[in-house]
Chains A and B, each alone.
Chain A
Amino acid sequence: MNRLSLSQAFIYLLRRDLTLAFRNRAEFANPLLFFILVITLFPLAIGAIPELLARIAPGIIWVAALLAAMLSLDSIFRSDFDDGSLEQLLMSAHPMPLLVLAKVTAHWLVTGLPLLMVSPVLAEMLGMPQEAQGMLMLTILIGTPILSLIGSIGVALTVGLPKGGILLSLLILPLYVPILIFASSAIEGAAGGLDVSAQIYMLLAFLFLAISLSPVAAAAALKMSMS
């Protein structure tokens, strides 16, 4: 019999990872709860001054999203690394970048999408105006996949290391800065009624760049990690 086609293999691995996430539900709820908790801390720390909170809401939500993404990244490859599934994937008949893309897609569906659904509620709690909330959701929709994709490179580099988590933030947060800048600026602009298509185009450009290049880098890094 012949091996599966590329798209079939992609879908197969995607479904496997979604199944695994579903069976480990509790573990995957953590980043979402972290996201909500971090955002809740700000009014407590700064004071519940409506104008101030509304002004900094885009920044708070996006920083919280970055941190939650970083927290969740470990789950992409950790389990597979520990039980030997990762080396089997590296030795599969399909190109590793494709398999990495499948895993990252699953990761985003499980960690990024929930953020998307929760964000309007949190935005409302921080007093973000309605016009900005729509833009918030759009930036999260485009931005969180980029976080997963770039993050996968960092995890791929550190998955074999005992204290990889600490190093991971050093490796990835600088790379996240452009996304943070354009996303929060888009939301602020929308709140002020300005045209923010430039920011959105930049984010889309980042997304396409990340989709095409980061699986290759992550695959190379995984191969290195398994040495």
Chain B
Amino acid sequence: MYLWFHKFGSPPHFYRIAGKWLPWLGGLFILLLVAGLYGGLFLAPTDYQQGESYRIIFIHVPAAWMSLFIYVTMAFCGVVIIVWRMKLAEVVLISSAPIGASFTFLALATGSLWGKPMWGTWWVWDARLTSELILLFLYLGVIGLHSAIEDKRVASRAVAILAIVGVVNIPIIHYSVEWWNSLHQGPTVTKFDKPSIYWSMLIPLLLMALAFQVYYVLALFQSCRVELLRRERNSKWVEDISDD
């Protein structure tokens, strides 16, 4: 088991394997995306309260889930970096950051689009949107800190610490913002009430979530391969590849 872990973590091995998986991941993503969108846009029934505009949750909710999932993944990589200094973990962490930031931005944008037909404004200080906004700053912090430090192995340790500190704070921030929101909103309905869930809504939602997961892995593998080439450009295995 440890040997497998060790082998998987080796850059040239990962580069090869990830390269083989890319077309399959691409195909799977398209499949899931089409299925999810078809289910969400056409098959799921019109909501009693919110009409057709609620359908944006099929993008908004999975995007928000991904934004959190990716940050937790980054924190996990952070622990691996600090304890074992594994090069692959370093590459996965920094490659995940822009992808996570994009999902966060997507969640914010779709949240904003949802709000406009419902409440007439492009932005509301809803608990979840505000939390997502702060999460976006946390992602930008990781990206900014990594780019500011020249030695990338040292930079990886820095963002590892930052990601771990961030992940500890995320539940605290989330809870605080929820609490703040309930305080100022009063007992009225929260602005982005999820419509009562039917199976026909749940399944497209899960399909979209899965599609986004596959997309993450796809984008991650792509990005990691490039980053590995860049970091290891003087090593023999990269020279062998460029000779091919």
Q: A and B touching (C-beta < 8 Å)?
A: yes
- What is the CA–CA distance of A164 and B169 in the complex, to the nearest angstrom? 22
A101 at the interface (CB under 8 A from B): no
- What is the CA–CA distance of A221 and B164 in the complex, to the nearest angstrom? 12
Task: Pick the interface stretch among A34-42, A77-85, A175-183.
Answer: A175-183
Q: Determine the residue in chain B with the shortest Cβ distance to A213.
A: B168
- Interface residues in B155-177 (C-beta closer than 8 Å to A): 157-158, 161-162, 164-166, 168-169, 172-173, 175-177
28 A-B pairs with C-beta separation under 8 A: A153-B165, A157-B145, A157-B161, A158-B148, A161-B149, A163-B148, A167-B144, A167-B145, A167-B148, A171-B145, A173-B137, A174-B134, A174-B169, A175-B166, A175-B169, A177-B134, A178-B169, A181-B177, A182-B176, A182-B179, A202-B176, A217-B164, A220-B82, A220-B157, A224-B158, A224-B161, A227-B154, A227-B157
What mask results when residues 149 to 161 of chain A are scored 1 for a CB within 8 Å of chain B, else 0?
0000100011011
A227 CB contacts on chain B under 8 angstroms: 151, 154, 157
- Interface residues in B114-170 (C-beta closer than 8 Å to A): 134, 137-138, 140-141, 144-145, 148-149, 151, 154, 157-158, 161-162, 164-166, 168-169
- What is the CA–CA distance of A202 and B178 in the complex, to the nearest angstrom? 14
User: How many residues of B are in contact with the other chain, CB < 8 A?
Assistant: 29
B183 at the interface (CB under 8 A from A): yes
Query: CB < 8 Å: which of B141, B162, B180 contacts A185?
Result: B180
B151 CB contacts on chain A under 8 angstroms: 227
B144 CB contacts on chain A under 8 angstroms: 167, 170-171
A28 at the interface (CB under 8 A from B): no
Contact, CB under 8 Å: B161 / A217: yes
User: How many residues of A are in contact with the other chain, CB < 8 A?
Assistant: 27
- What is the CA–CA distance of A227 and B161 in the complex, to the nearest angstrom? 15
Contact, CB under 8 Å: B173 / A220: no
B interface: dominant SS: helix
A171 CB contacts on chain B under 8 angstroms: 141, 144-145, 162
Number of A-B residue pairs at CB separation under 8 A: 72
Contact, CB under 8 Å: B141 / A161: no
Distance between B45 CB and nearest chain A CB, rounded to angstroms = 38
- Interface residues in B79-138 (C-beta closer than 8 Å to A): 82, 134, 137-138
B180 CB contacts on chain A under 8 angstroms: 181, 185
A167 CB contacts on chain B under 8 angstroms: 141, 144-145, 148
What mask results when residues 193 to 205 of chain A are scored 1 for a CB within 8 Å of chain B, else 0?
0000000001000
A173 CB contacts on chain B under 8 angstroms: 137
Q: Determine the residue in chain B with the shortest Cβ distance to A157.
A: B158
Distance between B163 CB and nearest chain A CB, rounded to angstroms = 11
Contact, CB under 8 Å: B161 / A181: no
Contact, CB under 8 Å: B137 / A170: yes
Known A-B contacts: A175-B165, A181-B180. Give 4 more (CB < 8 A).
Answer: A153-B165, A164-B148, A170-B137, A170-B144
- What is the CA–CA distance of A164 and B145 in the complex, to the nearest angstrom? 9
Q: Determine the residue in chain A with the shortest Cβ distance to B180.
A: A181
- What is the CA–CA distance of A220 and B157 in the complex, to the nearest angstrom? 9
Q: Determine the residue in chain A with the shortest Cβ distance to B176.
A: A178
